[in-house]
Amino acid sequence: MQFDVIFTPDSLRLFGAGLVGTLQILIACLLIGGALALPMTLMRVSQHWWVRGPVWLFTYVVRGTPLLIQVYIIYYGVAQLDWIQSRWDDSWPWTGFKDPFMCAVLAFSMNTCAYTVEILAGGIRDTNAGEIEAAHAMGLSKWQTLVRIVLPSAMRRTLPAYSNEVIMMLHSTSLASTVPAVFDITGAARSIYSDFYLPFEAFITAGVIYLVLTFTLVGLFRLAENHWLAYLKPRGR
């Protein structure tokens, strides 16, 4: 084992840049995916099939196909279409397909959006009937009850499941290096491996970084659960 190579300034600089790239992708896809998931969740639990049907199809297709295939379809497929490329420079949102980073973020955002929609929709369906009855007794309409009572309650109760989704997305960002010009932790490990032919040292270091990030996310979500889910804990007499 030659871990001294890992601790050289150049190697540390590579892993530092990879860490920044990974966090940028993770934060961007969680923000975009979360913003899209909220309205789509409301559509997913609609009583009208023509409203919930398209969202069901979207989540079914995205959750039923590998994330790597989705990345390839967006970057090597959609982004390479002549119709898209002819609008790269002057037409939004097609300009985003010119940037490999945005293509990767789009793929990850769609993926986490699909899973988040199903997580929140399940939380809404499991809402205690007493909460809904109390909201109606206060004179809230069905829409007000859904937006002001049911959805916030579901978001709190699904925190443990969503924390698993965030951690899975962190690990999935390792696929971003399959897109040219996108640099992440795994890309840094591959670069060191190609330069020094030290696969174990490079990828073990990458694994340790992912492990530290995972435990950090677990700790943050544990604090959030203790704050927002404290009322669900059993109380001592």
Residue 232 has pLDDT above 70, yes or no: no
pLDDT tens readout for residues 121-138: 999 999 888 888 888 888
Q: How confident is the model at residue 235 (pLDDT cuts 50, 70, 90)?
A: low
Residue 62 has pLDDT above 60, yes or no: yes
Retrieve residue 220's tokens: 């943050």
Cβ(101)–Cβ(181) below 8 Å:
yes
> Which residues touch 61 (CB under 8 Å, ≥6 apart)?
none
Q: Is residue 237 part of a domain?
A: no
Q: Is residue 171 part of a domain?
A: yes
Mean pLDDT of 8-14: 93
**Nearest-angstrom CA–CA distance, 147 and 136:** 13
**Nearest-angstrom CA–CA distance, 59 and 70:** 13
- In one-letter notation, the amino acid at residue 218 is V
Q: How confident is the model at residue 87 (pLDDT cuts 50, 70, 90)?
A: confident
Cβ(165)–Cβ(112) below 8 Å:
yes
Q: Is residue 235 part of a domain?
A: no
Q: How confident is the model at residue 50 (pLDDT cuts 50, 70, 90)?
A: very high
DSSP H helical ranges for 86-138: 100-125, 129-137
The whole domain housing 117 covers 3-230
Q: Is residue 150 part of a domain?
A: yes
Q: Is residue 236 part of a domain?
A: no
Q: Is residue 50 part of a domain?
A: yes
**Nearest-angstrom CA–CA distance, 139 and 60:** 36
- Total number of domains in the chain: 1
Handedness of CA 78, 19, 35, 152 (dihedral sign): positive
pLDDT of res. 231: 64
Cβ(166)–Cβ(30) below 8 Å:
yes
Mean pLDDT of 214-230: 90
Residue 66 has pLDDT above 80, yes or no: yes
**Nearest-angstrom CA–CA distance, 19 and 5:** 18
pLDDT tens readout for residues 159-213: 999 999 999 999 999 999 888 889 999 999 999 999 888 889 999 999 999 999 9
> Which residues touch 225 (CB under 8 Å, ≥6 apart)?
159, 160, 163
Average pLDDT of every residue of the chain: 90
CA atoms within 13 A on the CB side of 2: 9
Q: Is residue 118 part of a domain?
A: yes
pLDDT of res. 117: 97
> Which residues touch 176 (CB under 8 Å, ≥6 apart)?
21, 22, 25, 71, 104, 108, 182, 184, 186, 187
> Which residues touch 58 (CB under 8 Å, ≥6 apart)?
40, 114
Q: Is residue 22 part of a domain?
A: yes
- CA of residue 194 relative to chain centroid, distance: 29
pLDDT of res. 163: 96
Mean pLDDT is highest, among 61-65, 74-78, 222-226, for 61-65
> Could you tell me the CATH number of the domain that includes residue 78?
1.10.3720.10
- In three-state secondary structure terms, 7 is coil
